A and B are shown apart, each in its own frame.
Chain A
């Protein structure tokens, strides 16, 4: 069956460190993969998109990698800040344009 797995346990890190979040998928051949941020009670906010033929994408303190052999994407936030605390969602598009989301990983950045 098709699955998108993100670490369900919350990730707690210290301010200034790099946070690394993982998204693994099975039985998908995604055309591209996206990362969204979601704050409690709010809608997802788009962060980054990476296509199947791209290995890495960066935007300011954010970096995404995509390994279609391992079927994995890693999402990095460098120099993390308390304001980065949120739930981070990975989402695949594999045919059509509907997004299929993972369950998300909650990140907490502590002072």
Chain B
């Protein structure tokens, strides 16, 4: 069964450093998402992406964040200058199209900012 994959599974970085989290969505899916989950808290929406542009973003997704689909398979989330409060699990998700409501989540990247 096709699945969303994410790399790396764990990332440790120093405050102020840039990180890039990578995702490979399910191959025929057209909508892509990033969510995050701070330890012990709920899953929060960050951004959705369709047709090579952001379709919706939350208040969390400020100028320090950016997303890109650099090729036909990868979808990346970049955090330009990490803060301690960026420490969280970051989940990528994809859905087939706008009318296919189910989102399929990847296993996540655990980011720790020191």
Q: Do A and B come from one complex?
A: yes
Instruction: Evaluate contact between B45 and A98: CB separation under 8 angstroms.
Output: yes
- Alpha-carbon gap, A41 to B91, bound state (A): 11
Contact residues of B between 77 and 114, Cβ < 8 Å to A: 89, 91, 93, 95, 98, 101-108, 110
Instruction: Evaluate contact between A43 and B106: CB separation under 8 angstroms.
Output: yes
- Alpha-carbon gap, A15 to B101, bound state (A): 32
Residue of B nearest to A38 (CB): B43
Instruction: Evaluate contact between A96 and B55: CB separation under 8 angstroms.
Output: yes
Partner of A49, one of B55, B89, B102, B105: B102
Is A23's CB within 8 Å of the partner chain B? Answer: no
Given contacts A42-B108, A44-B91, contact A97 B41 (CB under 8 A): no
Partner of A99, one of B4, B98, B103, B106: B103
Instruction: Evaluate contact between A100 and B45: CB separation under 8 angstroms.
Output: yes
* Chain A residues whose CB sits within 8 angstroms of the CB of B108 once the complex forms: 41-43
- Alpha-carbon gap, A102 to B43, bound state (A): 8
* Chain B residues whose CB sits within 8 angstroms of the CB of A74 once the complex forms: none
Residue of B nearest to A32 (CB): B101
Residue of A nearest to B100 (CB): A97
Query: B residues touching A (Cβ–Cβ < 8 Å)?
Result: 4, 31, 33, 35, 41-45, 48, 55-56, 58, 89, 91, 93, 95, 98, 101-108, 110
Query: A residues touching B (Cβ–Cβ < 8 Å)?
Result: 32, 34, 36, 38, 41-46, 49, 89, 91, 93, 96-104
